[in-house]
Chains A and B, each alone.
Chain A
Amino acid sequence: AQSVTQLDSHVSVSEGTPVLLRCNYSSSYSPSLFWYVQHPNKGLQLLLKYTSAATLVKGINGFEAEFKKSETSFHLTKPSAHMSDAAEYFCVVSKDSNYQLIWGAGTKLIIKP
C-alpha cells in the first residue's frame, strides 16, 4: 500500500537560509509525487509534481524536489527562505488503482526574521 511520511512536523529557519523539508514514501510501483502548500486560510496550491520524467523537479517560488528511488525520498528544498514561505507543506503520493491522493501529515515551515 502507498504511504507518505513527512519526517518533521515543524521546521524553523532564518530568512535567507536554505530550506529542507523531508518526505519518504512507500509504493509498490513507480509513483507520482507532489508537494502542495497551504497558507493560513487559503486553499492548497501545487508547488511541483514528479511523474517519472526528470528526477529533479523545479516548482514555483524557487522550490525544487529530487526523486531518489533508492532512498524512497522526495525532499523539498529552496536555497533561500523568504518570509512569505511560512506555511504548511504537504508531501503527496498518488494511489494507482483509484486515483486517490495519499497525503502526509504536513510540515509547518516557520521563518524567523
Chain B
Amino acid sequence: DAGVTQSPTHLIKTRGQQVTLRCSPISGHKSVSWYQQVLGQGPQFIFQYYEKEERGRGNFPDRFSARQFPNYSSELNVNALLLGDSALYLCASSLEETKDSTDTQYFGPGTRLTVL
C-alpha cells in the first residue's frame, strides 16, 4: 500500500506570494494533520481535519488555511509568505474510526518550502 504522499517535494517562493501544498493520505484514513518543522526543531501542529471538517488548529496566523476534500486528500494554503515560513511542511494521516478516536499518525516525506 502507498504511504502518505505530498507534492511538491521542494518549492521556492518570494515574500508576499501564496503557496498551496498537497497531501494524499493512506487509503482508508479519514484524518489529515499538517505540521511545520523549522530546521533544527521539532514539528509544530498547524491543523487537523477529519471528514472534511477542521478538528484542531495550532497557534498559527490566519495566513495559514487548509481544507480536506471528499476523497480525504488535503491542501494547505499559506498567503503573504514571510521569510520565517521557510520550513519543511509535513502531512500525516490517521485512520480515526470515529470522531472521538485518536489513532497513530503516519507521516509523508514533507514539502520543503524556501521563501526568498
Residue numbers of A with Cβ under 8 A of B are: 32, 34, 36, 42-46, 49, 90, 94, 98-106
Contact = CB atoms under 8 A, between A and B. Distances in A.
A106 B42 contact: yes
Nearest to A6: B42
A39 B83 CA distance: 26
A54 B48 CA distance: 28
A102 B31 CA distance: 17
A94 B106 CA distance: 14
Interface of A is mostly: strand
Interface in B36-60: 41-45, 48, 55-58
23 contacts: A32-B102, A34-B104, A36-B107, A42-B109, A43-B90, A43-B108, A43-B110, A44-B43, A44-B92, A44-B107, A46-B105, A46-B106, A49-B104, A98-B48, A98-B57, A99-B33, A99-B102, A100-B45, A100-B56, A101-B35, A101-B105, A104-B42, A105-B41
B45 A105 contact: no
Listed residue (A46, A90, A101) with the most chain B CB atoms within 10 angstroms of its CB: A101
A103 B106 contact: no
Nearest to B112: A41
Given A98-B48, A100-B48, A100-B58, A105 B42 contact: yes
Contacts of A45: 107
A25 B3 CA distance: 30
B42 A103 contact: yes
